[in-house]
Amino acid sequence: MKNLFKFFVFVALLSLGISALYDYRLKHGALGTLQRAPEKYTLAKSPNVDPKQVASLEALNQERRALVKSVVPSVVAVKTSKKIGVRRQGMDPFEFFFGNPRRQYRGRDEALVQNSLGSGVIVSNEGHIVTNNHVVAQVDEIEVQLSDGRTEKARLIGADSQMDIAVLKIDNPSVKPLVLADSDSVQVGDFVLAIGNPFGFEETVTDGIISYKGRASEVGELLQTNAAINPGNSGGPLINLRGEVVGINTAIISTSGASAGVGFAIPSNTVRTALESLLKQGRIIHGYLGVQMRVAQPGQAASPSDEGVVVDEVVPGSPAEDAHLQKGDLIRKFDGHDVKTFTDLRRLVSQAGLNKKVELEIERGGKPITVSTQIREQPPGYLTGQAGPRQTPAPQNPDENDEGSSGLSGFQVGELTPAIARQLDLPNSVHGVVVTNVDPSFGGADLQKGDVIEEVNQQPVNSVADYNKIVSTLDSAQPQVLSVCRHRARSFLVLRPR
């Protein structure tokens, strides 16, 4: 009993000590701040800048608000889902008891639902929405979320992977479409807004300018902008000062996967042509001329002024043959528009419209000639590439190289001269060797005539001599990695042993 009494006395004294310490800290320590006298403070009541001095900036603010408010209701978030069948490897105990609402089990197999996000813009009173093909390709369900929060099922009207354009439709009579502007009138430096659903954040608005016009790519010429474009922005509109669509955001160049200030949009004129083709014909019809451009050999200029397209081949039965074009003809103008590179010619043909009669101004034997033809639909299976619609074998030049024992076989390369670089519309920073011929049986990678090989296994290439020296040391039994520039876009190709 005496020990128990001592224990209770100890507990009581300990409690009194803790209480006294708390009171002391409350009055003098860290907790004392709760009992301090109020601090005196005076908040600023007027801005440091006289509003009259920045009246134009305030007016710009008001105008930009009005612009954004008028266009945001026409931009939608595109949400897709796809079921992917996978084989189960046992049962997770948590899922056994509680289940997983995102998985649907069928015996030993399960379907995993994959969700993706994108953007789109309403372009018709009937509810047609333009977006990117890669946003809605091979999905099971498509929903769009409007700016007022409503979500509606959308059906796919049509799509084209070559142009990366798709058209959806929702049944909503209250939609507000945006106008497709004339993208040919767009100039570098024009103010633009990019609106979309980046990372799932609907109605996100970023601003910038048109930083380049006519950037060549696999889907055609693009508008380049520094307006921030991120994953989820794909398919959303690029807007001008009048609230019109000048482009559909489609791609970025980035080392991190997020915006690096270099984004690309499909021009609205291209979008309009594709949209009307889909709605009227049920598919996107690609214009077709039927010529292959020559890649000039080392020491040769592509043309006297290094501008224009030199015809290297005329496809039998094509509109080019109907116009009596010949090998060696220099195409200067297409339907009144200047032709400086093959990308110019390809863009003009694609925008010409089906069955349209056009005139070509050419130079033959130093003499100007005007011929006419009618643009037709691109035939099924017609292949397009950097240097022309079709790739055919060409005679091997002494400066070309075909390394059959180095692991890089099936194609030849030549020197990249300034004339060739201009003809291929390459950036000034590109260096390396140009692919001048690809064997039709070559299956190592998607290498094309006109590609520029800048590196082999991370070793820089500046000339054919460099290339020969590097490939002579390669192990033909090992895969080789090429750094390639095509259409002003850089990528890596892996060539595996055959």
Residue 287 — φ and ψ, nearest 5°? -65, 155
Annotated catalytic residue within 74, 128, 134, 268: 134
Q: Which residues of 255-272 are buried (b: 16+ CB within 10 A; e: fewer)?
A: eeeebeebbbbbbbbbbb
Query: Is 134 marked active-site?
Result: yes
- Residue 19 annotated as catalytic: no
Strand ranges for 320-366 from DSSP E:
330-334, 337-338, 357-364
DSSP string, 292-309: EE--PPTT--SSTTS-SE
DSSP string, 171-216: --TT-----B--GGG--TT-EEEEEE-GGG-TTEEEEEEEEEEEE-
As beta bridge partners, residue 482 has 456, 493
Q: How far is CA 181 from CA 74, 243, 260, in A?
A: 15, 9, 26
Q: DSSP labels for 34-86? A: GGSPPPP-----S-SS-GGGGHHHHHHHHHHHHHHHHHGGGEEEEEEEEEEEE
Catalytic-residue membership of 109: no
- Of the listed 160, 164, 312, 451, which one is catalytic? 164
199: left (phi over 0), alpha (psi -120 to 50) or beta: left
- Catalytic residue chosen out of the listed positions 234, 259, 318, 350: 234
Catalytic residues: 134, 164, 234
